[in-house]
Amino acid sequence: MRAVALLRGINVGKAKRIAMADLRRVVEQVGGRQVATLLASGNVVFTTELAEPAAARTLREAIAGELGVECRVGVWCQARFRSVVDEAFAAFSAFPEIAAAAREQPSRLQIALYLDAAVAPRLQPLAERDWGDEALRIGADAAFAWCPRGLSGGELAEELNRAAGASVTVRNAATAGRILAAL
């Protein structure tokens, strides 16, 4: 299957540094084919024979063993990842002004992909709050945050990070689109 692996919290600041060439090598060592990385933030597209959970576990263990970096890894098959990205834009269809703005500024639409499905109920109270011009919706595989001032310009992203912790890995919709194009 064609898949995307998203690593949480690498190459942010000075901690957990991984060269993308090393990451590609590790993915190939565990059987990944047609491996490509995007940006330097732990986005890998590849072909694998493993199912999503097994691929995530294998990659996490290989990265720790080969590169000495402990990080959470999520793997989504191409169809499932496309569905999550489509859902991100559809999540705000009841709010035409947000939906239009998200299409014009996809970097302001944050997709918090679940690394642990049990996180969704913990996020639900946040989705019920009034965030002013920010908004949060909860999906089956991810939570979707509209942050018109960016991740550091509003309160929602900070609260989402606090509630979700290491149970999600976040990519903006612009980056997700680039990942889809590479799949």
Quote the pLDDT of residue 86.
Answer: 96
Quote the pLDDT of residue 52.
Answer: 93
Quote the pLDDT of residue 117.
Answer: 87
pLDDT, tens digit, for every residue of 130-159?
999 999 999 999 999 999 998 777 899 999
3-state secondary structure of 41: coil
Quote the pLDDT of residue 11.
Answer: 81
pLDDT, tens digit, for every residue of 27-37?
999 999 999 99
* Residue extents of the structural domains in the chain: 2-79, 81-182
| pTM beyond cutoff 0.85 | yes
Residue ranges, the chain, pLDDT below 50: none
CA–CA separation, 66 and 85 (whole Å):
31
Q: What is the DSSP string of 133-162?
A: TBEEEE-SSEEEEE-TT-TTSSSHHHHHHH
Q: What is the largest CA-CA distance in the chain?
A: 48
CATH 3.30.70.1280 correct for 2-79: yes
CA–CA separation, 26 and 163 (whole Å):
32
CATH topology identical between 2-79 and 81-182: yes
CATH code for the domain defined by 81-182: 3.30.70.1260
Range list of β-strands (E), 14-156: 33-38, 43-47, 73-77, 109-114, 135-138, 142-146
3-state secondary structure of 77: strand
